[in-house]
Structure 1
């Protein structure tokens, strides 16, 4: 298939037609909109959508069947999707390079490694995450506070040394974003936001060809969208073209519904592409598929698979929690029971609580958390059990990062 053509997802077509996704599927199944199936997911070429619209006008009334409704949001992403299905399996190493700020245990680094990138350096302050990072990677980790000049310079110098004259293809980072507020019509930043500004300084110094920035979905609504607009404006000031949208990890074989805002920017005159989903919701990898075999596995600390010892009373309470619901009303985002026959709800460590196992009356183990985040079994976590859970809950799912890395590889192949 010609991957230079603009391919639209069902939800993209629905937005363009201002109809429900159900209507789009009905038109596809009726043969009114021609689609291609890529990895089990429907894709519609722009030309086919235009043909459908032209035909609807020509038939004088067909368009009236469309279920018009008001758009859900006034914010419209300019998103370019690229097919990565043909290169998902059998990824080969390349000369492309990447480095990672706020790297944590290394979810982003692992994903880019899976995509064939040469990771040159990571940076984070979290001691136990650093122990995990060094256990699983051979490239350098700079451990310390990014706001400290000597730490920042150490990271920059290490990256340059490892590159040895080569260009840095990608600099990635999931920066904190709590320090934005409004003063009149102006966005102001408090000292918590120095981390974000330090990332911009490192970008300006290293001049990576691409930037990948990851954040929670809630960033989009911060200060009614003004925070996102400021971030895009700041990146543009550094000479980059930037595009942003929300990606669902479950679309890329991660057995978890985890939505994240992904900024992709470049300064080399390319169009930015986000990876087209590889799965539709009815074919997501389920919790059962991901962790069922671990029920039969005995506790093994070296494999990060140690069950939590609950009291009999707690076991009884955990058993009664419905799938998708939380044990505590005030902690709706923690102590939530994963659905068994669907992709898991978002994996978190919050207030000392993690997700509840759907079958056994207990919280899930570290290895089960890692599986639901798409970490390979060879990836071993260090530190105390509670610190391991924090590392996994904060991580970027490696398979999501792999999809982003592959989309950049495809982008670079385009003329």
Structure 2
């Protein structure tokens, strides 16, 4: 391989002609731009995607949308996550996806056991063994003694005979929570309804070999689980809490020995087992800051050791049309026979926030100093949420009408429904119902505090009586004012607000403002130490408002308790970012990549959706 410091790129050597579409991959960047500016109406080529650590599905949703624009039918066939509420959300919005609520470690073990079962029952390569054969197996699996099936009436009433009717699920783990790890089948018992289904270890089903064969044959044909070669692309964001700056017990000398970082190993182990053509890993910038970037270097090293080309970049969500900065790390991997995907250059200006590790400054996806940018103006909070109806701190409805028309191009686009080819192609119809527009209900003390925060830009707890700001911008108590108490007896200005970051922070109980860019959508909606208050309403931002800041279309419904829905949104990859990366993946899958590690999105992007938007009403009628 060749190595370039720019975007830490490991790639095929120029003379290596094994790369797919090698002639096209070396065409000029100008010709690439010309090709990319002509997206087709409906994709023809199909590619199967596995979404690991999927959350509610934002990353795979964006990838599929972007791939569609480059005429690639990328389809999320499988998704894995440990959060049951996130799995429910993904399944609700993508009913055709096989969603599994389990750990990545158990999923990897299951894949290995599944391959063994497929080999044992000789189904590998048996592509003609379709579902009707499975039904035939069921019909031929009669009682061994040849009875007419009425034997149940002759059983002793005092005895209870359990007979397996069929197997309906498979997992590796400890589903019965008995600390007995292993391979289990979910059993539907003859004569009982589904509420009596149970998980049984494979060792206890030794008399049910034909039932297992039927399940494996049908599961193989329906691809309920991927085998090596079935997955064309893997995406995911393995959690690395051990690298977080909030973790006081980080292991700087041995990061991978920290259990909180070992999902990075599991992610790469799954890639090694399934051997997809493409890999896209997402993570927080801390993996490049902590321990001199050890975790980021490890991820690069694992891909290269598996003979993958690799490229690492940092992308800010606000650069792709969101009123949120949110810098994240993205790592591309491509097999030696594929073109290595590029990074899409920004389409929008943005207010830069945060600190980039000096050693990885060359990995920030951005234009060069002397390059013409032609960026669209930065988006602000008002561009995203000003059309949403007013709600109070006590709003409890999950659905409501919009009440008024969209006011900005962003709002018009975000209201569109997902429809078209394979249910995730074009966005052509207006959504008419607003989902998840409700806030986390604050306790009475916090609500009374929020009501006292002035409705103006920059207002925060420092505007409450009894707080004095020193010349060094730190706060102290104003001894001339008696400390005001709430009806509960607790102080109006809490101690933690005064001591947060040694009294230097303005974030506690701070209002956002219409002409501001949000730093990062967070998973917690409490206002104690972060800026999450609505500009003019006495509440925190709603779930839907946060979802809009992440680029979720309004039609994307979320499941679970209110706090869980905030977590799903806060943990998600910003949809416009993954959409731009999906476009890059589509072009790379066809070998259409320029020589540079970055490329300009075509002039019709991201406005390509407006071609179809014009077929819908420009306004949403009041309802």
TM score, norm. by length of structure 2: 0.49
Preserved CA contact (<8 Å) 1:305 1:368: yes
Q: Equivalences for 1:151-300 in 2 at 5 Å?
A: 152-153=110-111, 161=223, 167-179=230-242, 181-183=251-253, 188-267=256-335, 268-281=337-350, 283-296=377-390, 300=397
1:148 is aligned to 106
Preserved CA contact (<8 Å) 1:108 1:398: yes
Cα shift at 1:104: 0.6
Cα shift at 1:76: 5.3
Cα shift at 1:390: 0.8
Preserved CA contact (<8 Å) 2:391 2:438: no
2:77 is aligned to 120
Stretches of structure 2 that go unaligned for 5 or more consecutive residues are 12-28, 69-73, 116-218, 244-250, 351-375, 400-434, 463-496, 593-623
Preserved CA contact (<8 Å) 1:319 1:360: no
SS in 2 for 1:294: coil
Pair 1:191–1:218, CA change in 2 (3 A): closer
Preserved CA contact (<8 Å) 1:131 1:382: yes
Pair 1:325–1:201, CA change in 2 (3 A): farther
Bigger relative contact order, structure 1 or 2 (CA pairs below 8 A, ≥6 apart): 2
Q: Distance in 1 between matches of 2:39 and 2:461?
A: 35
- From 46, 50, 61, the equivalent of 1:99 is 50
Q: Distance in 1 between matches of 2:345 and 2:279?
A: 19
Cα shift at 1:259: 0.8
Q: Distance in 2 between matches of 1:258 and 1:270?
A: 28
- From 509, 514, 517, the equivalent of 1:343 is 517
Preserved CA contact (<8 Å) 2:229 2:275: no
Q: Distance in 1 between matches of 2:264 and 2:45?
A: 30
Preserved CA contact (<8 Å) 2:264 2:299: no
Cα deviation 1:202-221 (Å, max 9, x = unaligned): 11111111110001112111
Q: CA RMSD in A?
A: 3.5
Preserved CA contact (<8 Å) 2:242 2:261: yes
Q: Distance in 1 between matches of 2:84 and 2:78?
A: 16
Q: Equivalences for 1:40-51 in 2 at 5 Å?
A: none
More helix by share: 1
SS in 2 for 1:344: coil
2:186 is aligned to none
Pair 1:345–1:188, CA change in 2 (3 A): closer
Q: How many residues align?
A: 339
Stretches of structure 1 that go unaligned for 5 or more consecutive residues are 1-74
Pair 1:242–1:384, CA change in 2 (3 A): same
2:500 is aligned to 330
**Most deviating of 351-360 and 276-285:** 351-360
TM score, norm. by length of structure 1: 0.71
1:132 aligns with 2:229: no
Pair 1:274–1:316, CA change in 2 (3 A): same
SS in 1 for 2:578: helix
Q: Distance in 1 between matches of 2:327 and 2:377?
A: 17
Preserved CA contact (<8 Å) 2:384 2:549: yes
Cα shift at 1:378: 0.7
Cα shift at 1:179: 4.4
SS in 1 for 2:104: coil
Preserved CA contact (<8 Å) 1:315 1:362: yes
Preserved CA contact (<8 Å) 1:257 1:343: yes
Pair 1:110–1:188, CA change in 2 (3 A): closer
Pair 1:325–1:241, CA change in 2 (3 A): farther
User: Which structure has the larger Rg?
Assistant: 2
- From 40, 60, 63, the equivalent of 1:109 is 60
SS in 1 for 2:553: coil
2:173 is aligned to none
Preserved CA contact (<8 Å) 1:215 1:262: yes
Pair 1:256–1:182, CA change in 2 (3 A): closer
Cα shift at 1:324: 9.6
**Most deviating of 150-159 and 164-173:** 150-159
Cα shift at 1:372: 0.9
1:22 is aligned to none
Q: Distance in 2 between matches of 1:111 and 1:140?
A: 18
Q: Equivalences for 1:17-56 in 2 at 5 Å?
A: none
